[in-house]
Amino acid sequence: MSALIVKIISFIAPLFAIIVLIRAVRSMFNGKTQTEIWGYIQTDEKVLRITHWENIIGRTRSADIHLSNPKVSRVHAVLIRTAKAKWRIFDIFSKGGVRVNGDPVGASGYPLNDGDIINLSDVSVRFRDINERQRSEIESRRVVTWKNVHPAVTLLYLSVFQIMILLEHCFTAASENVPEIALGFVLLILLEWFCYFLMRSLRKTGFEVEIIAFFLSTIGLSVIATSVPTEIFRQMIIVFAGVVAFFLLGAWMRDLDRTKTMRIPAAVIAIGLLAVTLVIGDVQNGAKNWIFIGSTSIQPSEFVKVAFIYVGAATLDRLFSTKNLIVFIGFSAVCVMALALMSDFGTALIFFATFLVISFMRSGSIATVALAVSGAGMAGFLMLKIKTHVAKRFAAWGHVWEDVYDTGYQQTHAMSAGAGGGLFGKGAGNGWLKDGFAANTDTVFSLVCEELGLLIAICAVLAVLSLAFFAVRNTAQGRSAYYSIAACATASMFTIQLALNVFGSVDILPFTGVTFPFVSRGGSSVLACWMLLAFIKAGDTRKGASFVVKAPDAKDKEAKA
């Protein structure tokens, strides 16, 4: 009887997973791109809109304020709106120079006020600021995003999905573990609804990335429930802490100036953490990347991921500063080398790939060369350092079925168990892979395939990818390059991690043993994922959507008061 119920649920649950995913994605990509407007540039012929906080003025097609006059340099100047709604202009590599009302402007910038005349070489334009009242008027005409796809309904579907997975566990788990598993799932459901009402009370409408994260956390919780049921309460505490960290980091990043001032301290803390790990860290599974404090173990490299993006992202004016670039390259090199010394190949690879993404997104002219050179240097060091570790794994890659009890052990067992699940799975708690080595981290994709089925596992992969697509789409309306770079770097980091985890475990890529974002067991990893999510949240500039993004009307009220 109970077997029949589990079977029926396992056939219905994927449907709810698909609905949740489709609704979240529809909500993310609903409607046309609508830009925010922050000011205008008047030329002799036309009026150009300023749609970001940071804008490149120049002749290049990719300039935000595009002037076709041949006297203007390709990248002539950068126009930036600072935190207190003041504007500054910076001269960047221009041949003909920049003057404001006749005064020359240097690389350190020059304040701009409404009505100022800017001379770019001998092209003269007028800068028009807009006040907060005009801003909120424009803002009010932007589309409200959740009209079609109400997040509460999506959340309801998600809750039903969670209850179904819980029910499966109730039928399959050992009876002494059932209360704890039930408590874990109920707490997760309460937490997500609490977050939803918190958002509503803040008058924020965007809830898609949170829903995606809660969906992935549900699968993660199921993995814990089946493999280490006694840890489920601990896992819920970590998710709770992750959500708190997500809100705190998001709130912190509302103020870009404040965010920027903490970049150097963040870098120092990150390097300090890595140094401490190198000195007092413990070796587990060949990598010296654990610190034990009493009975709890933490993986500092996971938190360094957050710092890496925090430090790596930069505002547009800074992108052209050599000093800023050198700091970033130095920081990246130290991180990657420290990880290589710890023999944490997987994480080093993630850092290196993310470094390349950030480099690519920030690269200007000289910068490209410098980054390429340092990138190659780092890659070389990485290969030299980890050669022996990697050689074995690369040798096994593509040949795992030839050595199923040694180098191919984890992958072949994972593929076998995963294929045994079919499309709908054997039911949560019914698999055999859960008892295998590192099944709830390294080969978690196959564990999900086996118990919840290929359909739900694919949903989990697509859920992570939806975050990436969302981050990329948001860059088009990004306020600051800092937010855009941070969001895309996070998206890339998630994507790389996902690819290494999933494809490593099924022998499409070499096996590196990294975690599946939000799903793999591991407190540090889950906590770091929630913090990273704040970067993606910060890139969302749809009207009134993200709590990380300040709404102009709120500011207007402050001004009136």
Residue 54 has what DSSP assignment? E
Shortest gap between Cβ of 469 and another protein (angstroms)? 6
Residue with smaller CB distance to another protein, 457 or 527: 457
Sign of CA dihedral 56, 58, 62, 68: positive
Return the biggest CA–CA distance within the chain: 86
Q: Which of residues 372-391 bind another protein (CB under 8 A)?
A: none
Q: Which of residues 10-69 bind another protein (CB under 8 A)?
A: 51-52, 54-56, 60, 62-64
295: helix, coil or strand? coil
Cα-Cα end-to-end distance for the chain: 66
> Binding segment for another protein among 279-287, 382-390, 409-417, 513-521 (CB under 8 A)?
409-417
Residue with smaller CB distance to another protein, 287 or 314: 314
98: helix, coil or strand? strand
Shortest gap between Cβ of 5 and another protein (angstroms)? 10
> Binding segment for another protein among 252-260, 299-307, 388-396, 413-421 (CB under 8 A)?
413-421
- Per the CB < 8 A criterion, the answer to whether 517 and 531 are in contact is no
Binding-site size for another protein (CB under 8 A) equals: 66
Residue with smaller CB distance to another protein, 296 or 368: 368
**Helix 523-538 vs helix 481-505: crossing angle, to nearest 10:** 140
7 forms part of the interface with another protein (CB under 8 A)? yes
478 forms part of the interface with another protein (CB under 8 A)? yes
d(CA 502, CA 509) in angstroms, rounded, equals 9
> What is the identity of the amino acid at 40?
Y
Contact with another protein (CB under 8 A): which of 324, 403, 475, 556?
A: 475
- Per the CB < 8 A criterion, the answer to whether 218 and 500 are in contact is no
Supply 158's token pair. Answer: 């998600």
Pairing assessment for the beta strands 47-50 and 54-58 based on DSSP bridges = unpaired
Contact with another protein (CB under 8 A): which of 28, 253, 306, 506?
A: 506
Contact with another protein (CB under 8 A): which of 115, 419, 557, 559?
A: 419
Residue with smaller CB distance to another protein, 290 or 352: 352
418 forms part of the interface with another protein (CB under 8 A)? yes
Residue with smaller CB distance to another protein, 4 or 279: 4
Shortest gap between Cβ of 188 and another protein (angstroms)? 25
- Per the CB < 8 A criterion, the answer to whether 349 and 512 are in contact is yes
Torsion angle, CA of 253/257/258/259, rounded to 10 degrees?
Answer: 50
Contact with another protein (CB under 8 A): which of 468, 526, 531, 545?
A: 468
Contact with another protein (CB under 8 A): which of 484, 515, 541, 546?
A: 484
Q: Which residues pair with 293 in a beta bridge?
A: 296
423 forms part of the interface with another protein (CB under 8 A)? yes
User: Cβ neighbours of residue 71 under 8 Å, at least 6 residues apart?
Assistant: 96, 120, 121, 122, 123
The DSSP element (H or E) to which 41 belongs, if any, is: strand 39-42
Which residues of the chain form contacts with another protein (CB under 8 A)?
3-4, 6-7, 51-52, 54-56, 60, 62-64, 316, 357, 360-363, 404, 412-413, 415-427, 430-432, 450, 453-454, 458, 461, 465, 468-469, 471-472, 475-476, 478, 481, 484-485, 488, 491-492, 495-496, 498-499, 502-503, 506, 508-509
